[in-house]
């Protein structure tokens, strides 16, 4: 059997008696126009290995396989095993891993070779997974991810924008991040209460070293933990005014006004102080 011979997604869901589980943050993406757009934006093809989290019924999985890429799909919900095994058998290029993606060892999955992450992320784990990929020991070749639009805004926002915060600093310090597609709620089954958006992230050539990245997480957690306070107050436990001055920043500035470069300066100053 080929991919073309597989039953349609809605038919497959009905055949297997599957429905979305709220506890898993599931909203099935069954619109083929949207899934194929995401696959195109991921810029993957026959030479590429893709890791997909939360494939569910496999709508995006099918679109990724149509590009010729090899796909490893990580799914927590065992109910989808029979349906996804049908897709695996039809394609010959789909490996299935059933388990928690937060605990997955992507470096082992990739086998030392580059791998791209492309996913319609479950809403309840999207942000923790992104932080894991941005700050962990394994660096993906690229990330093309569907989030709630509110989260997408946080990833791409700049200083003085309402959505700007710790997630945006971490994302933009490690990657070039762009929102590339908006997806209305009606594209999903069942429709969520919010719209979604796809963000593409490509690792920066000047990605911070592990020590610098750890320091960046520390200073952003403190600064944005009390985002309305001046840096001299929010960073008090890390050095306060002296740390801000060492980084070349105004101690009376607030976190929401500090650019990514400023936070990297704070991370450098904190490291230089021997913290």
Give the pLDDT score at 22. Answer: 59
- The β-bridge partners of 120 are 146
User: Of 174, 203, 232, which residue constitutes the final position of a domain?
Assistant: 203
Give the pLDDT score at 12. Answer: 72
The answer to whether residues 199 and 216 belong to one domain is no
The answer to whether residues 190 and 229 belong to one domain is no
Give the pLDDT score at 254. Answer: 97
The answer to whether residues 53 and 174 belong to one domain is yes
User: Of 203, 224, 247, which residue constitutes the final position of a domain?
Assistant: 203
pLDDT by residue, tens only, the chain of 275 residues: 578 767 677 777 677 676 656 555 567 788 889 999 999 999 999 999 999 999 988 999 999 999 999 999 999 989 899 999 999 999 999 999 999 999 999 999 999 999 999 999 888 899 999 999 999 999 999 999 999 999 999 999 999 999 999 999 999 999 999 999 998 888 887 777 888 999 999 999 999 999 999 999 999 999 999 888 999 999 999 999 999 999 999 999 999 999 999 999 999 999 999 87
What CATH number corresponds to the domain at position 197? 3.40.50.150
User: Of 203, 223, 243, which residue constitutes the final position of a domain?
Assistant: 203
Residue 106 tokens read as 């992507």
- Give the total number of structural domains in the chain: 2
The answer to whether residues 106 and 242 belong to one domain is no
In 3D space, the residue among 269, 264, 248, 257 whose CA is nearest the CA of residue 230 turns out to be 257
The answer to whether residues 102 and 173 belong to one domain is yes
Give the pLDDT score at 16. Answer: 67
Residue 129 tokens read as 């997974």
Domain that holds residue 217: 210-272
The answer to whether residues 181 and 262 belong to one domain is no
The answer to whether residues 127 and 155 belong to one domain is yes
Q: How far is CA 250 from CA 222, 245, 253, 262, in A?
A: 16, 7, 5, 10
Which residue has tokens 């690792």? Answer: 203
Give the pLDDT score at 41. Answer: 97
The answer to whether residues 254 and 132 belong to one domain is no
């Amino acid at each position: 059997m080929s991919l073309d011979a597989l039953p349609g997604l809605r038919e497959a869901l009905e055949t297997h008696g599957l429905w979305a589980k709220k506890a898993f943050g599931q909203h099935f993406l069954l619109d083929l126009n949207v899934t194929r757009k995401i696959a195109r934006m991921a810029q993957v093809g026959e030479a590429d290995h893709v890791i997909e989290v939360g494939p569910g019924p496999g709508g995006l999985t099918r679109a990724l396989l149509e590009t010729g890429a090899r796909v490893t799909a990580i799914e927590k919900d065992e109910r989808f095993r029979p349906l996804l095994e049908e897709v695996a058998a039809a394609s010959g290029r789909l490996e299935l891993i059933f388990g928690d993606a937060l605990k997955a060892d992507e470096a082992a999955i990739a086998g030392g070779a580059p791998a791209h992450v492309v996913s319609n992320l479950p809403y309840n784990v999207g942000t923790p997974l992104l932080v894991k990929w941005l700050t962990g020991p394994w660096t993906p070749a690229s990330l093309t991810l569907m989030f709630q639009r509110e989260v997408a805004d946080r990833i791409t926002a700049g200083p003085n924008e309402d959505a700007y915060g710790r997630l945006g600093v971490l994302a933009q310090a490690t990657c070039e991040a762009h929102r590339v597609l908006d997806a209305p709620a009606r594209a999903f089954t069942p429709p969520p209460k919010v719209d979604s958006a796809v963000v593409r992230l490509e690792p920066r050539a000047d990605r911070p070293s592990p020590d610098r990245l750890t320091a960046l997480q520390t200073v952003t957690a403190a600064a944005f933990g009390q985002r309305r306070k001046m840096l001299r107050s929010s960073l008090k436990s890390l050095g306060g005014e002296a740390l801000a001055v060492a980084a070349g920043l105004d101690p009376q500035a607030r976190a929401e006004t500090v650019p990514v470069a400023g936070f990297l300066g704070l991370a450098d100053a904190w490291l230089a102080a021997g913290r």
